Structure 1
Amino acid sequence: MPWIDVNCDMGESFGRWTLGDDLGMMPYLTSVNIATGYHAGDPPTMRRTVEAAVGKGLGIGAHVALPDLMGFGRRRMVIPPSDLEDYCLYQIGALDAFVRAAGGRLAHVKPHGALYAMASEDPDLAAAVARAVAKIDPTLPLMLLNLTTGDAVAAEGVQLVPEGFPDLHYDASARLIIEPIKLAWDPGLVARRAVRMVTEKRVTAKDGTEIDIDIVSLCLHGDAPNGVETAAAVHQALTKHGIDQVPLREILAAPEETRS
């Protein structure tokens, strides 16, 4: 029986501004990536989101980003790898403090937005993020789009975990096509794409190209107008097809032959 982790970015509200229905998404997830203040999130939001995730037994990841609060972390920046390492160390440490205070344990690290794309393409930047991870806890896996920068991450003693995005388009080169504002997708379509990613290890790009993918986690977007409805549809479809939804740390700890 195949296993898959299902994750979602959350804790992205800031001050009086609210984004997404985090509590509504949680019943359909196994892991969450919580904003650490650089693209979104503030200390009270981090605390509340962490406490809710710990209470539901979800794996908690630090959602590190470029220092771009105004652009929601979606604008590329030219940053030396040494500075990026410091930025990530700062953000991971902040979230780790909230997780420990809530009685939990940090489970992974995942870059956000532009940093996610940059670290998935540039080995030097991927290595910088991985060095920050290793300095806090080298057993923490690092989520990225694919294994392109896996050697650079592994060289720092960190495991790279590839993930799939059933509610985003891919281009023919297997890169994500980011929506400036997350659009509502048909929940049934997202569910079918999710099942196919797990069972067939394939996804259809926007231009019709068939892409091979090998993933350990699926990412859903709670900031879509129908995010909760879509997450529920994905959960139901995965369950119907006999696909267990399991937190990332539990999957990685299991023998490889039991994962599929």
Structure 2
Amino acid sequence: MMNGMSVIDLNADLGEEIGDDAAMLAVVTSANIACGFHAGNPTVLAATCRAAAANGVRIGAQVSYPDRSGFGRRFIDMAFDDLVADVVYQIGALSALAHAAGSAVTYVKPHGALYNTVVHHERQAAAVVEAVRSVDAGLAVMGLPGSQVLHDAAAAGLPTITEAFADRGYRPDGTLVARTEPGALVTDSTDVAARVVQMVTTGTVVAVDGSTIDVAAQSICLHGDTPGAVAHAHAVRRALADAGVEVRAPAQA
């Protein structure tokens, strides 16, 4: 299935103090910057916002469960009002840091376990959307195509950004293979680049069972904390250029 896309956004999770943010900012067009709940501190996040602004990279708030010890990768069964307040708090904090850096937060992307939870969890998806809407109805929500959170965001009138993952394995149903399971990560730069070109030019990817599934997306995530992340990122940019694909942030955000 050709999707006719000749433009794609590349995003990466930054401000987490575990990857080479400077190198990634030279490649990506969107930065999902941590908000302090799973990683980062005010000084680090301020510097990351400044670096993103200097590179002309748009800023997104990477919101998470309050779980620094687990890096936000453990599900927390939070009360609706608590999750709304936590997400509002994180967006507000990063927005202030971005403003101080001469930029602005233009979208919100849940991190880790929260990202995976709001694919199907109606109450937590609704809480994330309520938080974003209450802060700024012009903020976009980034998430997995077909996810509950994007459905709710669209229904609330929020802009949405569909996302695919360059280096993560997919199940046949379009969800991500859990990091604890075989096939969760793609580790070869050539394979990562080829997958991204397939995603962008055909809107498909090969799942872990060998089937071809739809993954039409406006943005591709390059994880900055995986082994070989910078090499993956450069390989992806070269492969996209060779395929005639322009890399830039979506106009609506």
Under TM normalisation by the shorter chain, which class is it? over 0.9
Structure 2 partner of 1:223:
225
RMSD of Structure 2 on Structure 1 (CA): 1.7
**In 2, Cα distance between equivalents of 1:241 and 1:48:** 34
Q: 2:7 aligns with which of 3, 22, 30?
A: 3
1:127–1:156 CA contact under 8 A, matched in 2: no
Deviations 1:199-252 (CA, angstroms, capped at 9, x unpaired):
10001111112111211000001111211111000001111111111113x2x3
Deviations 1:124-183 (CA, angstroms, capped at 9, x unpaired):
222211111112211111011112323322232212221001200011221112436996
Structure 2 partner of 1:34:
33
1:184–1:226 CA contact under 8 A, matched in 2: no
Q: How many residues align?
A: 246
Return 5+ residue gaps in structure 1 as ranges: 14-18, 254-260
Structure 2 partner of 1:176:
176
Return 5+ residue gaps in structure 2 as ranges: none
Alignment of 1:1-260 (within 5 A): 2-13=6-17, 19-149=18-148, 150-179=150-179, 185-248=187-250, 250=251, 252=252
Structure 2 partner of 1:256:
none
Deviations 1:97-122 (CA, angstroms, capped at 9, x unpaired):
00000111212100000000111212
**In 2, Cα distance between equivalents of 1:147 and 1:160:** 11
**In 1, Cα distance between equivalents of 2:112 and 2:167:** 15
**In 2, Cα distance between equivalents of 1:148 and 1:24:** 31
Distance 1:165 1:183, change over 3 A: closer
Which amino acid in 1 is paired with 2:12? C
1:39–1:71 CA contact under 8 A, matched in 2: yes
Which amino acid in 2 is paired with 1:12? E
SS class of match (1:193): helix
Q: Normalization by structure 1: what TM-score?
A: 0.90
- Greater than 3 Å deviation, 4+ residue runs: 180-184
Distance 1:183 1:177, change over 3 A: closer
